[in-house]
């Protein structure tokens, strides 16, 4: 067991941190997120040049052949400055599905373009009326000649209006299939909007829209979707850890500098004790996020182990994110609620992450199902 | 980043697990697992078996019985010991005075005390807290005045755990009442508990047990050679000792065992016409507790892997804070599972049908309020985190 990153990984972190910290301070982020597409296309290209957008993909697919430890480092830096680029949404989630399910040709084409930054791929999966399921019911796929057409509504789809390619989950005979829909396909309507965390989402309406089957067979892809969602959940845990870390350091700084009653706020134990508890929450979730990444990366982990690790990371991220997010605002006072100051945006993004792929209560419910299947949880597998 | 234990560490864990579950008498481990009072004889027997195998004081310097283990191996050693319900080497010996004498004692003191301390031939107790010096330990008022070749000690200590079994006490005493900072005038003395002038009064706790005591000193004469380290440097040794006390204080293995027991009990009890373990809110509560415990264990593993220089890591305050909270949460879970059965707490075996675990649940829960108070209360830990880590 080893929690440390090697020198190559640390170099990656420093490079990404340098790029993102130059690109974003709270002012710049506010300006960028005001305009569509809600992120900076130039930063996205720079991430591509650095190899970040192809990190987890095989080299023959145009990627870097790195692991989820590297993904975790990038996600943490994204979270630290609240970079609005859809790294987890596109690279980890949509890209992960293509990597797992796509044919060699699809992988080379879609992942190659995603890695180069020339094509933004996102996963259109959520449907109004259902929550956090790996299956699709609101969009159905029908065979049409050699190909397929899709009909139904997906919403909210992160970066759904800006995306060049959508990977769409849809009901097929015997389960849920995955399909590739081009942004310029006929019968595709996308209504984009701004979300509370400064990013973008869209309603994606499909009406007899031509689609290409992802992978060789039209079989049920529920298991692949579940696994991809689990990996994205773990990456989000790291994005959240980065955000929580900044929320805490920002709060600590504020307590040291803000004066009331003639003294810095840090003189009030009622406040410093709460900051100490935020630190406890942060370190606990950091530990479990790192562990979950190691489970994802371990070559002999079973899908069940990866799903359970993601649920554990999700539960802790939800608790810690709510705790730190809410306390960061409260310890600042009124300024924490303003859009002009940075800290509330961290709370907003943490709240979004909490609800994108399943919240803490949802994860706890899943973990509760197997609670009597083990005497205790093993942190160190044999 | 590597999830798995190395083959060497895996073999080490297997070796520890086998030793603890086969070499320590089952009856002693049963007492620990059932939260019964462990007798002095059992503590001594278990520690001597460990010591003979080199497993009592692995964190000491090698020449005094220590092993050249990695921090991870020490963690595994402690974790496996707790999982197997082995009484841990007496903390006052193995984690407190032993390392202090090894680091600051003179050669004669090391030879005189360390082998006997490792083997529990001497049972040590701690003379730190006083009625007016708890978290504010440096305010202690017990004084030692030099008189010829002796120190003469007067004053009172309290919360002296298992002092009734102790052969010797290590004691913080004020030797320079004129020192500018109150921390500077403190020294560490050691002396036998049967020295004339030492009296002990047991304090009954809420669980009906007697594990702590008041200790009174009236003109107790202590030979000058029993000063540990330098005069007026006692505060440094106390800080060193308390830093050691926090290592392993997360007690993850012990909490794991309590939760595993709780699940077994919940499977056997009926609630609303079905086993309690099938109740969704009970399952969720256990799942959340298990997750918190996993996060704590992983944090402990991170802390050990980052503190190879042997210095206490300030993040160890997180372990103390959260470790105590989760131990308490596990005792609370057991009380709630016992439900009405928990009222039979002080019933004798032949006068009740209530199983032993349910009878001990509430006394244990009440007793465990101590864990967020001793070893630096959780409020002290928050002060350390806010000050040392956050710079507040």
Mutate to test the interface with A, among B8, B298, B381 (most CBs of A within 10 A): B298
Domain boundary among A84, A119, A154: A119
How many structural domains comprise chain B? 3
Q: pLDDT-derived band of residue B247, with 50, 70 and 90 as boundaries? A: low
At B248 the pLDDT is 72
Whole-model pTM: value is: 0.95
Domain contains A1: no
Which residue of chain A has the CA closest to B11? Answer: A382
Q: Assess whether pLDDT exceeds 90 at residue A119.
A: yes
Q: What is the enclosing helix (H) or strand (E) of A139? A: strand A139-144
At B245 the pLDDT is 60
CATH number of the domain enclosing A361: 1.20.140.10
Q: Two tokens at A269?
A: 């134990």
Closest C-alpha to B378, from B300, B318, B295: B318
Q: pLDDT-derived band of residue B135, with 50, 70 and 90 as boundaries? A: confident
Nearest to A1 among B4, B295, B379 (CB): B4
N- to C-terminal Cα distance for chain A? 11
Domain contains B325: yes
CATH number of the domain enclosing A11: 1.10.540.10
Please indicate whether, in this complex, the C-beta atoms of A376 and B260 are within 8 angstroms of each other: yes
Domain contains B16: yes
Residues A91, A141 within the same domain: no
Closest C-alpha to A105, from A235, A222, A213, A181: A213
At B312 the pLDDT is 58
Q: Known catalytic residue: B245?
A: yes
Could you tell me what percent of chain B has a pLDDT over 90? 89
- Range A176-186 average pLDDT: 98
> Residues A28-78: pLDDT tens digits?
999 999 999 999 999 999 999 999 999 999 999 999 999 999 999 999 999
At A344 the pLDDT is 98
Which residue range(s) make up the domain with B344?
247-389
- What is the C-alpha radius of gyration for chain B, rounded to an integer number of angstroms? 22
> Residues A129-163: pLDDT tens digits?
999 999 999 999 999 998 999 999 999 999 999 99
CATH number of the domain enclosing B321: 1.20.140.10
CA distance linking residue A33 with residue A43, whole number of Å: 13
Chain B residues with CB-CB distance to A70 below 8 A: none
Closest C-alpha to B100, from B182, B165, B190: B190
Which residue range(s) make up the domain with A319?
222-368
Chain A residues with CB-CB distance to B388 below 8 A: none
Residues A237, A353 within the same domain: yes
Q: Assess whether pLDDT exceeds 80 at residue A127.
A: yes
Residues A238, A346 within the same domain: yes
Domain contains A379: no
At B50 the pLDDT is 98
Residues B135, B28 within the same domain: no
Domain boundary among B197, B232, B267: B232
- Strand pairing of A139-144 and A147-158? antiparallel
Question: Which A residues 53-92 touch B at CB under 8 Å?
Answer: 69
Query: What is the secondary structure of B61-123 as a DSSP string?
Result: -GGGT-----HHHHHHHHHHHHHTTPPPPPHIIIIIIHHHHHHHS-HHHHHHHHHHHHTTSS-
Residues A237, A357 within the same domain: yes
- Range B131-146 average pLDDT: 95
At B311 the pLDDT is 57
Residues A53, A96 within the same domain: yes
Domain boundary among A119, A135, A170: A119
> Residues B206-240: pLDDT tens digits?
999 999 999 999 999 999 999 999 999 999 999 88
> Residues B82-104: pLDDT tens digits?
999 999 999 999 999 999 999 99
Residues B305, B346 within the same domain: yes
SS3 state of residue B360: helix
At B315 the pLDDT is 78
Residues A115, A250 within the same domain: no
Give, as one character, the DSSP assignment of residue A2: B
Residues B163, B200 within the same domain: yes
At A1 the pLDDT is 82
Residues A49, A64 within the same domain: yes
Closest C-alpha to B88, from B57, B62, B124: B57
How many structural domains comprise chain A? 3
Domain contains B113: no
SS3 state of residue B32: helix
Could you tell me what percent of chain A has a pLDDT over 70? 100
Residues B257, B311 within the same domain: yes
Residues B181, B311 within the same domain: no
Which residue of chain A has the CA closest to B5? Answer: A1
Domain contains B1: no
CATH number of the domain enclosing B161: 2.40.110.10
> Residues B292-326: pLDDT tens digits?
999 999 999 888 776 545 555 777 899 999 999 99
Residues A111, A126 within the same domain: no
Q: pLDDT-derived band of residue B63, with 50, 70 and 90 as boundaries? A: very high
Which residue do the tokens 């529990």 mark?
Answer: B120
CATH number of the domain enclosing A203: 2.40.110.10
> Residues B260-276: pLDDT tens digits?
999 999 999 999 999 99
Domain boundary among A148, A183, A213: A213
Residues B31, B130 within the same domain: no
- C-alpha distances out from residue B299 to A28, A164, B175, B352, Å: 35, 41, 40, 42
How many CB pairs below 8 A link A and B?
Answer: 155
Question: Which A residues 245-304 touch B at CB under 8 Å?
Answer: 248, 252, 255-256, 266, 269, 272-273, 275-277, 279-280, 283-288, 290-291, 293-295, 297-298, 301
């Amino acid at each position: 067991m080893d929690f440390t990153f090697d020198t190559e990984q640390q170099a990656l972190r420093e490079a990404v941190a340098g790029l993102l910290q130059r690109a974003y301070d709270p002012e710049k982020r506010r300006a960028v997120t005001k305009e569509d597409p809600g992120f900076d296309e130039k930063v996205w290209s720079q991430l591509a040049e650095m190899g970040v957008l192809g990190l987890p993909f095989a080299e023959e697919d145009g990627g870097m052949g790195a692991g989820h430890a590297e993904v975790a480092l990038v996600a943490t830096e994204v979270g630290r400055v609240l970079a609005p680029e859809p790294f987890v949404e596109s690279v980890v989630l949509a890209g992960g599905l293509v990597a797992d399910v796509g044919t060699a040709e699809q992988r080379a084409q879609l992942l190659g373009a995603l890695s180069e930054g020339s094509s933004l791929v996102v996963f259109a999966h959520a449907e109004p009326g259902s929550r956090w399921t790996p299956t699709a019911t609101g969009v159905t796929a029908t065979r049409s000649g050699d190909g397929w057409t899709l009909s139904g509504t997906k919403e909210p789809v992160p970066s759904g209006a800006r995306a060049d390619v959508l990977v769409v989950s849809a009901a097929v005979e015997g389960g849920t299939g995955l399909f590739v829909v081009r942004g310029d396909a006929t019968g595709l309507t996308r209504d984009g909007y701004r979300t509370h965390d400064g990013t973008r989402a869209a309603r994606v309406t499909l009406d007899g829209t031509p689609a290409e089957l992802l992978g060789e067979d039209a079989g049920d892809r529920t298991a692949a979707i579940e696994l991809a969602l689990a990996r994205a959940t773990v990456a989000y845990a790291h994005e959240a850890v980065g955000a929580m870390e900044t929320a805490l350091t920002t709060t600590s700084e504020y307590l040291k500098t803000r004066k009331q009653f003639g003294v810095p706020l840090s003189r009030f134990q009622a406040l410093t004790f709460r900051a100490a508890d935020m630190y406890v929450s942060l370190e606990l979730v950091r530990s479990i996020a790192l562990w979950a990444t190691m489970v994802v990366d371990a070559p002999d982990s079973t899908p069940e182990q990866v799903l359970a690790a993601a649920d554990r990371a999700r539960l802790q991220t939800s608790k810690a994110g709510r705790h730190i997010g809410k306390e960061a605002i409260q310890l600042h006072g009124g300024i924490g609620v303003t859009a002009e100051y940075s800290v509330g945006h961290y709370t907003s993004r943490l709240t979004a992450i909490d609800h994108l792929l399943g919240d803490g209560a949802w994860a706890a419910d899943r973990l509760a199902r197997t609670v009597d299947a083990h005497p205790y949880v093993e942190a160190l597998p044999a | 980043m590597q999830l798995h234990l190395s083959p060497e560490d895996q073999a080490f864990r297997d070796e520890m697990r086998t030793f603890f579950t086969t070499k320590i008498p089952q009856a002693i481990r049963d007492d620990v697992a059932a939260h019964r009072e462990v007798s002095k004889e059992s503590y001594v027997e278990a520690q001597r078996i460990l010591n003979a195998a080199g497993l009592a004081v692995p964190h000491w310097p090698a020449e005094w019985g220590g092993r050249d283990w990695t921090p991870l191996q020490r963690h595994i050693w402690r974790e496996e010991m707790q999982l197997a319900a082995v009484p841990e080497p007496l903390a006052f010996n193995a984690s407190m005075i032993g390392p202090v004498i090894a680091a600051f004692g003179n050669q004669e003191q090391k030879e005189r005390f360390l082998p006997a301390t490792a083997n529990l031939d001497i049972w040590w107790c701690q003379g730190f807290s006083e009625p007016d010096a708890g978290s504010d330990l440096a305010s202690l008022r017990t004084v030692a005045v030099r008189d010829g070749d002796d120190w003469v000690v007067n004053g009172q200590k309290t919360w002296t755990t298992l002092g009734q079994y102790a052969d010797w006490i290590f004691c913080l005493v004020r030797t320079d009442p004129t020192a500018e900072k109150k921390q500077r005038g403190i020294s560490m003395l050691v002396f036998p508990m049967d020295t004339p002038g030492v009296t002990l009064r047991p304090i009954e706790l809420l669980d009906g047990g007697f594990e702590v005591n008041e200790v009174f000193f009236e003109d107790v004469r202590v030979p000058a050679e029993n000063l540990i380290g330098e005069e007026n440097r006692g505060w440094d040794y106390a800080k060193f000792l308390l830093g050691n006390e926090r290592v392993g204080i997360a007690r993850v293995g012990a909490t794991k065992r309590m939760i595993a027991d709780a699940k077994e009990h919940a499977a056997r009890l009926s609630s609303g016409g079905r086993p309690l373990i099938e109740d969704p809110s009970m399952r969720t509560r256990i799942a959340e507790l298990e997750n918190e415990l996993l996060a704590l264990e992983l944090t402990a593993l991170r802390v050990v892997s980052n503190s190879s220089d042997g210095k206490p890591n300030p993040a160890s305050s997180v372990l103390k804070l959260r470790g105590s909270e989760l131990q308490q949460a596990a005792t609370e879970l057991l009380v709630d599972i016992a439900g009405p059965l928990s009222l039979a707490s002080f019933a004798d075996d032949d006068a009740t049908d209530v199983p032993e675990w349910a009878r001990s649940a509430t006394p244990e829960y009440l007793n465990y309020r101590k864990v967020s108070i001793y070893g630096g209360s959780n409020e002290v830990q928050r002060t350390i985190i806010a000050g040392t880590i956050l710079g507040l």
